[in-house]
Chains A and B, each alone.
Chain A
Amino acid sequence: MVYPGSFKKLVEVLCRFPGVGPKTAQRLAFYLLGLSRDDVVAIARAMVEAKDKLGFCPLCGCLSELDSCSYCNDAGRDQSILLIVQEARDVLVMERTGQYRGLYHVLHGALSPLDGIGPEELKLDRLEKRIAEKEVSEVIIATNPNVEGDATAGYLARLLKPYSVRVTRIAFGLPVGGDIEYADDLTLSRALDGRREM
C-alpha cells in the first residue's frame, strides 16, 4: 500500500495506542485530517499538557497534578482509612462509587515473580512508613481477586499485623441488580463464603 509520507507516519504513530490496529489507525488519521488546524493543535496541546502536569503522587501513588494531589490534600477525606489498590485506574473506579471518602494507596502492581514483581517493586516500605506515621485505623485491601492479588493481600495482612490497624478485604460476590439465577457457580460460592449476619 502506498501512503503519502506524513500520512504513513501518522498511521504508524496511532497504531501504537493500545487496542488500535492499522484499520482503526487509518480511520483516526482521516478524522484528524478532516479537522481544522486549530482543533488538531488543541488535541496535541491537551496531550502534552497532560504529560507535563500529571504524574503519580509520591505519597499515595494516585494519578494527580504534580504540585498537589487531589486525594491527599482533600481535607474532607477521612484520614484514618486507607484503601489499597493495584492500579491508579482502580482509584478512578472507586471514586465513581461516591461511597468511599478515605485515602488511597496505589501499589502499581501485584506480587508476581514471573513478571519480576516482588515486595520491593511494590515499594511497601513507603506504605509501612505511611501507616506508622499517620493515624491510620483501618486498611482496606482491594487487590484483584486472582492468585497474584490474593497472594499480595495475604502478604500485606501479615506485614501490617505489628501496626495495630484493622485490616480488611473488600467482599466478593454477586453483581448488584442481577439475578442469582444467572450468577456463575464460582461467584456464587464465593458469595456464600462471604455471607454475613443480618
Chain B
Amino acid sequence: MFYLEGLHLKGFRNYHNQQLHFHPRLNLVIGENAQGKTNLLESIYYLSVTRSFRTNRDNELANFEDRYFYVKGNFVKDDFKHIIQLSYRLNEQLKVSVNRKQEDRFAHLQHFPVIVFSPDDLQIIKDGPAIRRRFLNLEGSRLNPLYFEDLKNYQRSLMQRNYLLKEKRNHLKIREYLEPWDYKLAELGSSIINSRLILIKALEKEARLFFDRMTGSLEELTLRYSSTVDFNNNPETTRNNFLNALSKKRDVELKKGSTMIGPHLDDLKVMINGFDSRRFSSQGQKRTAALALKMAEVSLFKLRNDESPIILLDDVFSEFDNSRKMHLLEFLKETAGQCFISTATGLNGLVENLQSDYKIITVRYGRAFDETDRFGA
C-alpha cells in the first residue's frame, strides 16, 4: 500500500497555510472555478516530481506576497511513514528533505510515484505524431533501458546521415559515404520499431480494459503502429525492409536533403471503432481515449513496480456523461491505489452509489475543507 496521508502547504499558489488529511483510496476535490483545486493536485505532484505539470518555473508556485513556499507530505509506503519536505525561497535552490535528511532534487525522483491526467493531456490524441512518439519513447525507456540507448544512438546516426544528405549530396562518392549509415540506421531503427511493437501490444491490452469499461464495450479501442517502414514481428525482416526502403528512396532523399524513412517519422494511431480518433471522434471519445492511454501507463507502472502510483485526475469529469463518470469511479475503486479527482461540477449522487470509502474536500478562496470523513460509511 502506498498513499499520501497528510499534506501541509504554506505559501503555495493561493494557499497560505493549509493542513489536510487524505483518504488512502478516493479523494474528491470539489469547488468552483479558480478556487485552488488544481493547485492542490499540483502540490501533490510537486512533492513527487519536484516539478509542476503546469509550469517549469518554481517562482510561479510561490505565493505572491510571501515569495517562498513550503510543501510537506506524509507518505505511507510499505507500512513505513516518510516525510517529504520541500522549501523554496525566491532566487534560491529548492531544498528537498526526505525523512528530515537533505536530498538531491533529482535523486528524490521516482521514489514516491504520482501520475497526473490534466485537460492538456488531450493533446496526445489531438496533436500531430510527435507527441505520440514522445509518449512511446518515454514509456519505452521506462520499460527497457536498452530502448533509451537505441534511441540515443539512432538520433546520432540520423544526424550523421542527414549531414551527408544535406552537405555532400553532390559529392561523387555520396552513395558510398551513406552505406555505413544506412546499415546503422536500419539496425537501430528496426530495434526501436520492434520495442515499440512490444510496448504497444502491452499498452493496448491495458487501455482496452479501461476503454471497454468506460463505454460498456459499445466502442472498440485499438492501437496501431503506423510506420514508414514495412515492419514485421521479426526484427531481422524489418531491418532488411528498412535497408531496401532506404535504397529505394535514395534519389528523393538526396533531393530533399534529409532521411525520410524511420521510426523518427512514425506514429501511434489510436483507433476507435476502426477510425483514427484524431480525426473522427467526439470530444468525449477523445477524452476517454486519452484517459485510456494514461490508465494503460498506470497499469504498466503497476506491473513493473508491483505498486500503484498515486493518480491525480484534474477536471476529467467535465466532458463525461453520467454513465462514464460512474464507470470511471468504479474502475478506479477496483484497480487503482490512491486517487485525487478534482471537479467543478457536482457529483449528483454518483459517489453515494459507489458504496465505498472516500473523502470529499471542498475548496473555496484558497482554503480547503474536509467535508466528509466516511470511513466505511
1/0 per position for B168-183, CB-CB distance to A under 8 A?
1000010011011101
Complex contact B145–A151 (CB within 8 A): no
* Chain A residue at minimal CB-CB distance from B152: A147
Complex contact B184–A154 (CB within 8 A): yes
- In terms of DSSP, what is the predominant structure of the interface of chain B? helix
Complex contact B184–A186 (CB within 8 A): no
**Bound-state Cα–Cα, A150 to B187, Å:** 11
The yes or no answer to A164 lying at the interface (CB within 8 A) is: no
Complex contact A150–B163 (CB within 8 A): no
* Chain A residue at minimal CB-CB distance from B145: A185
- Quote the shortest CB–CB distance from A193 to chain B (angstroms): 10
User: Which residues 164-203 of B sit at the A interface, judged by CB distance below 8 A?
Assistant: 164, 167-168, 173, 176-177, 179-181, 183-184, 187
Complex contact A154–B180 (CB within 8 A): yes
The yes or no answer to B343 lying at the interface (CB within 8 A) is: no
User: Which residues 129-162 of B sit at the A interface, judged by CB distance below 8 A?
Assistant: 145-146, 149, 153, 156-157, 159-161
User: Which residues 150-173 of A sit at the B interface, judged by CB distance below 8 A?
Assistant: 150-152, 154-155, 158
Instruction: Among A119, A147, A155, A186, point to the contact of B145 (Cβ < 8 A).
Output: A186
Complex contact B183–A154 (CB within 8 A): yes
Instruction: Among A114, A152, A154, point to the contact of B163 (Cβ < 8 A).
Output: A114
Given A113-B164, A113-B168, A186-B149, verify A151-B180 contact (CB < 8 Å). Answer: yes
**Bound-state Cα–Cα, A20 to B146, Å:** 37
Complex contact A113–B177 (CB within 8 A): yes
How many interface residues does A have (CB within 8 Å)? 19
Which residues from chain B contact A112 at a C-beta distance below 8 Å?
160
The yes or no answer to A109 lying at the interface (CB within 8 A) is: no
User: Which residues 34-89 of B sit at the A interface, judged by CB distance below 8 A?
Assistant: none
Complex contact B177–A118 (CB within 8 A): yes
Complex contact A186–B163 (CB within 8 A): no
- Quote the shortest CB–CB distance from A187 to chain B (angstroms): 11
Which residues from chain A contact B173 at a C-beta distance below 8 Å?
118-120
- Quote the shortest CB–CB distance from A22 to chain B (angstroms): 29
Complex contact B160–A113 (CB within 8 A): yes
* Chain B residue at minimal CB-CB distance from A110: B180
Which residues from chain B contact A120 at a C-beta distance below 8 Å?
173
**Bound-state Cα–Cα, A146 to B180, Å:** 14
Complex contact B149–A151 (CB within 8 A): no
Which residues from chain A contact B146 at a C-beta distance below 8 Å?
185-186, 189
Complex contact B184–A151 (CB within 8 A): yes
- Quote the shortest CB–CB distance from B259 to chain A (angstroms): 13
Which residues from chain B contact A111 at a C-beta distance below 8 Å?
160, 180-181
Given A111-B180, A185-B145, verify A151-B163 contact (CB < 8 Å). Answer: no
**Bound-state Cα–Cα, A147 to B181, Å:** 9
* Chain B residue at minimal CB-CB distance from A185: B145
Complex contact B160–A155 (CB within 8 A): no
- Quote the shortest CB–CB distance from A148 to chain B (angstroms): 8
Given A186-B145, A189-B146, verify A152-B180 contact (CB < 8 Å). Answer: yes
Instruction: Among B153, B159, B176, B184, point to the contact of A119 (Cβ < 8 A).
Output: B176
Which residues from chain B contact A114 at a C-beta distance below 8 Å?
159-160, 163
Which residues from chain A contact B183 at a C-beta distance below 8 Å?
151, 154-155, 158
* Chain A residue at minimal CB-CB distance from B155: A147
Which residues from chain A contact B156 at a C-beta distance below 8 Å?
147
**Bound-state Cα–Cα, A118 to B168, Å:** 11
**Bound-state Cα–Cα, A111 to B159, Å:** 13
Given A147-B157, A151-B157, verify A113-B145 contact (CB < 8 Å). Answer: no
**Bound-state Cα–Cα, A158 to B163, Å:** 23
**Bound-state Cα–Cα, A189 to B19, Å:** 47
- Quote the shortest CB–CB distance from B9 to chain A (angstroms): 38
* Chain B residue at minimal CB-CB distance from A119: B176
Chain B residues in the interface with A (C-beta under 8 A): 145-146, 149, 153, 156-157, 159-161, 163-164, 167-168, 173, 176-177, 179-181, 183-184, 187
7 A-B contact pairs sorted by A residue (CB < 8 Å): A111-B181, A113-B161, A119-B177, A152-B180, A158-B179, A185-B145, A186-B146
Besides A113-B164, A154-B180, A185-B146, 12 more A-B contacts (Cβ < 8 Å) are: A111-B160, A112-B160, A113-B181, A119-B173, A120-B173, A147-B157, A150-B153, A151-B160, A151-B180, A152-B180, A154-B187, A186-B149
Closest 10 CB pairs of A and B: A155-B180, A185-B145, A151-B180, A147-B156, A151-B184, A113-B163, A113-B164, A147-B153, A113-B160, A118-B177
